[in-house]
Each structure stands twice: as C-alpha cells, then as structure tokens.
Amino acid sequence: MEGKVILSSSDGQVFEVDMKVAMISQTLSNMLKDTEDTGSETAPIKLANVSSRIFNLIIEYGKYHVEAQKSDTSEPTADLKKRVRELVADDKDTLFQLMIAANFLHIQSLLDLSYQIVAEDIAACKDQQMIRQKYNIENDYSPEEEEEVLKLHNIFE
Amino acid sequence: MARSSAIDRLSALSDDVLLNHILSKISYRDVVRSSLLSQRWRLLWTKIPRLKFCPEDFEKQKDGRIQAIINNALLHLDTRLSCLELTVALDDPKAAYINNWIRLAAEKQVERMDIHICNRDPKTGKRISNGASPMMELGDSIFSCENLTVLTVQYIRIPKMPTNFGVFRSLKALRYAGIPNLDDAMFEGFMDLCPHLQDLGILSCLGLKNLNIRSFNLMWIHLGDLRPDISLQLTCPRLMEIGLIDSGQYAGLKWLKLLQQISRAKSVKKVILQNYNTGNAVNPGMPSIIVLNSFPGLEELTIHGQCFQEMISDEMPTAEVALPNLKM
C-alpha cells in the first residue's frame, strides 16, 4: 500500500502519515482495508484515545519500525527497544500512555517492548522502596502485615 | 505539559498483563520481591504460571538453600503450572531434591517441563559443561506428571518405568539430550507411553544402537550426534519432517548411512541437514539423491553446513520430483 493516510488525535490535531507507517497498527490496517474495499472517500480517522503528544511518539516509532524491517540489523528488537527508551526519556507516565495507545492501536511490537522496558526497570531497582518511588505505589500494608510479608519473602533470600 | 505523576499506573494493569507480560520477564527473586510493594501485589507472585530457574539465580547459594527456595516456590504456587524450567547447577546434586521438585510440579499439574541438572565448580560457583554431567537420576515422580504436553530432559539419567503406569495422554513433544542410560529397550518402552506424541528430538544419546521409532502420530523427528554405527528404523505414517543435526566432522558420511536406511516415506515433506564443522567433505549430490529416493513427497530440503563440498545448485541431480522450495 502506497500513499498517505490522514489521522486526527484526541485533541483534534491532524496528522498525515505514510501508509507504510500506519500499517504497523493492526487496528488502522483493518480500518484502511475496509475503506479500500468500499472505495469510500477517506475522511480523517479520529483516534479518540490517543493524544497528539503520544501520537507523535507512535509515528516516530512507526518510522523506526519500518526502517528496521528494511535494513538487516543483527538485533532489530534490541535496536527498537533502545529507540523506544529514547522516545520515553525515562518518563513512566509517557511509557504507560504509549503502552495503552499500542494496545488500542494493536501495535504488538511496541506493546511487547513497553512491557519489556517496565520489566527491566523493575528488575533494575535495588529494593522495593525504589520501585514504589518510581511507580508511585503506595505502601498500604499495616506494620504487622509488612512484617508478615517480609518474613515470607526472606525464605527466598 | 500536564502530568499525572501521582497515579500508580503499574498497579492498575490487569493481573493478566502483570503476570504474563511483566513478572514473567524478570527473575524469580524479583517476582517474589514484588510481594513487598503493596496489598495489590501481596499474592500476585503465587499466581505466576511459569517458573524458570537458571544457575545465575543461585550463584551465591549453598545446595541446601537452592533446594529450599525451589521447594518453597512450588509449595506456594496457587495456580496450575504451565511451565517449569529447571536448569540448576549444584555442588552435590541429590536425587531426592530433584524427585521432590518434580513431585511438587506434578501436584500443580505441570504441562511443560524442561529439566537440566548439572554440577557446578564449588570454588567458582560456575556450572561445569554438559559433558561432565552427574549420574543423576530424574526419579520416578516424573510418572506422576500426567498433564505433561512437552518434556525436555537433558544430561540426567531417566528412571525405569513402573509396571503399573498408564500413559502420558497429553504428551505431544519429547526431547532427550545427553541421556546416559537411554538404551534401545528403554526408548521403545517410553515411546509406548506416549501414544499422541508428535514431536521427538534425540541428541547425544550414545546408548542407542538400534533405534526403532514406531509412532502413529509423530510428525517431526530431529536426531543429532548419535553413534556413527546406529541403525535406524522408522514406522511413522504421519511423519512430515526429519532433521539431522551433527557437530562432528564426518556428518556427511553419517547422514549417508542414516538416510540409506530409511525406506520410502511418502509423507515426509521437509528434510533438514545441519552441520557446522569443516571436516571430511562429501559431494552434496550423494545425500541429495538418497533424500530424493527415500522421500518422494519432498517439498523442501534445507542444508546448513560445511561438511559438503561446493554446494552449487546445478550440481544437484535432476529430480524426479519437484522441489519448489529448495533452500541450500
């Protein structure tokens, strides 16, 4: 599929996106195939759940993804993961919004990479306090409960 | 830019995402640590359906601790175990440990299991290469894992089967690597327990001399690094794919011998020959002719390796059958 596709974000910004880039989204790909079949005029497709800020990142990712498919990098996934980390710039909120958008748009590779990044970041934290801090997790254990979970946890240390 | 920085988006993810896409990607130690975070996380670690242990998880621990940790992981599990990967290096592997782990896994209705127990160097804590495998035995708790669909056992003795055992009804894939005591009778006996087996792999099992594979549902066979003088007999009406892997320098010659023993198998569509050793080279035409004669239904022949002389496609013999997907 060649050409451009017109999309608009939840805050009304209009984007002209390369068809190849748009096709990495299973959701868009299905929609575009439908409009192609009916031959109807392509009005901008409204993405009600994706803000322009996140959509810009998704388009960047899409370009990397299309590029990676063309070139024979030895480790395409590792390279893409690095790119996603750059896009997110260690902002957890951006990472989760990207994850939600990838889920909505059915971009499996981006969804998997965002899970992978969360997993790696959790593993990299030195203790539970650091995880709580990074992800705004509230410690709602009572002191007695906390002692109990610590005790259970210690049998695995 | 508006930021909702105080929202805990991680804990808001569904159990499915947290278990199958996030906790499944970190070490078991980190999975257990997640229980310390908050109420949301208190029991999540006990619901993780895949347990994976590797020697790096236990580098600083003594054998007794390793045994206790794996036991506790299995005891606290509050879900069916879809997969248990146990690659464990111990100073002094004890059969009782392994038997107990497998018994607990059986209680959790384990479906896929990959067992690889090896020795480690007590000084460095590093595992000793596969070749220096212990004469460990799996223990007969393996026969209580009735839900197994995939079983991989590496470098460990397998037990004699009990006389009163039924069958592994669900077992679809069985892979043996470096099983020191696997002989012809034991192999055939075990195969009789797996009537629905589709996928069989046998690597480096040098006790096999007359390999007789009779299996109605078998579709994929991969054989690697077996004795050079092995005799092979296949009775597998649904077989689709045969892969021969060899790391030795006489691979080409070994394959010639093996392929010659396979009588016409019409169902086979794909043959794979793999070798990465430069050694005594063989003219690629020879095994090709035999392959074509043995497998009249062949659609795809893949050859990776350096044990063949120049692999130029026009040296291929004229085929009586079409090979539309021929890859070299």
Q: Considering the domain boundaries, does residue A133 fall inside one?
A: no
B132 touching A (Cβ < 8 Å): no
Contact yes or no for B30 and A123 at CB 8 A: yes
Start-to-end Cα distance in chain B? 56
Nearest beta carbon to residue A137 from set B10, B29, B73: B10
Partner residue facing A128 (CB), from B11, B36, B69: B36
Q: What ipTM score was computed for the predicted complex, to two decimals?
A: 0.89
Helix (H, G, I), strand (E, B) or coil at B143: helix
What residues of B are in contact with residue A152 (Cβ under 8 Å)?
35
Domain of A97 in residue numbering reads as 4-124
Task: Give the three-state DSSP class for B220.
Answer: strand
| Closest CB to A138 among B8, B30, B35 | B8
Beta bridge partners of B88: B117
- In a domain? residue A98: yes
The reply to whether residue A153 touches residue B73, judged by beta carbons under 8 angstroms, is: no
- Tally: H helices and E strands in chain A: 8, 3
Closest chain B residue to A93, measured at CA: B5
Chain A neighbors of B39, CB-CB under 8 A = 140-141, 145
Q: Hey, is the C-beta of B68 within 8 angstroms of any chain A C-beta?
A: yes
Q: Which of B5, B8, B68 sits opposite A137 (nearest CB)?
A: B8
Report CA B102 to chain centroid distance, whole Å.
16
Residue A108 lies in a domain: yes
Per-residue pLDDT of B216-275, as tens digits, reads: 999 999 999 999 889 999 999 999 999 988 887 777 778 878 888 887 788 999 888 887
Alpha carbons B228 and B237: distance in angstroms, whole number: 26
> A156 lies in a domain?
no
- Interface touch A135/B11, C-beta < 8 Å: yes
| A132: in domain | no
> Do B95 and B139 contact (CB within 8 A), yes or no?
yes
pLDDT digits (tens, 9 = 90+) for B103-143: 999 999 999 999 988 888 777 767 776 544 556 788 889 99
Mutation for A interface: B8, B23, B36, B48, most A CBs within 10 A: B36
Comparing C-alpha atoms, which of B235, B215, B43, B54 is closest to residue A153? B43
- B positions 25-64 inside 8 Å of A (CB): 25-30, 32-42
Measured in angstroms, the CA of B22 and the nearest CA of chain A are apart by 5
Query: The domain that contains A32 carries what CATH number?
Result: 3.30.710.10
C-alpha separations of B65 from B68, B91, B130, B161 in Å: 5, 12, 23, 30
Q: For residue range B140-194, what is the model confidence (pLDDT) as tens digits?
A: 899 999 999 999 999 888 888 877 777 898 999 999 998 989 999 999 999 999 9
pLDDT of residue B121: 75
How many whole angstroms separate alpha carbon B174 and alpha carbon A65? 37
**Are B9 and A92 a contacting pair at CB < 8 A?**
yes
**Residue A157 falls inside a structural domain:** no
Measured between CA atoms, the residue of chain A closest to residue B18 is: A115
* Nearest chain B residue (CA) to A124: B30
Which pLDDT score, from 0 to 100, does residue B283 have? 59
User: What are A6's two structure tokens?
Assistant: 């017109």
> Does residue A113 sit within a domain?
yes
Residues 6+ apart with CB under 8 A from B85: B50, B51, B52, B53, B54, B113, B114
Residue that has been written with the tokens 């195969």 in this structure: B191
Residues in chain B: 328
CA B45, B51, B52, B53 torsion-angle sign: positive
Is position A134 within any domain? no
Q: How many domains does chain A have?
A: 1
- Strands B231-235, B210-214: pairing is parallel
**Contact A120/B25, CB-based, under 8 Å?**
yes
Contact B5, A93 (CB under 8 A): yes
Chain B residues near residue A146 by CB distance under 8 angstroms: 36
- The per-residue pLDDT string of chain A (157 residues; one tens digit each, 9 = 90 and over) reads 568 888 889 898 998 888 889 889 998 888 888 776 655 556 778 888 889 999 999 999 999 888 888 776 667 788 889 989 999 888 899 999 999 999 999 999 999 999 999 999 999 999 999 999 999 999 999 999 999 999 999 998 8
Asked if B38's CB is within 8 angstroms of A141's CB, the reply is: yes
Rounded to a whole number of angstroms, the distance from the CA of B172 to the nearest CA of chain A is: 28
DSSP A101-124: HHHHTT-HHHHHHHHHHHHHHHHH
What is the SS3 assignment for B206?
Answer: coil
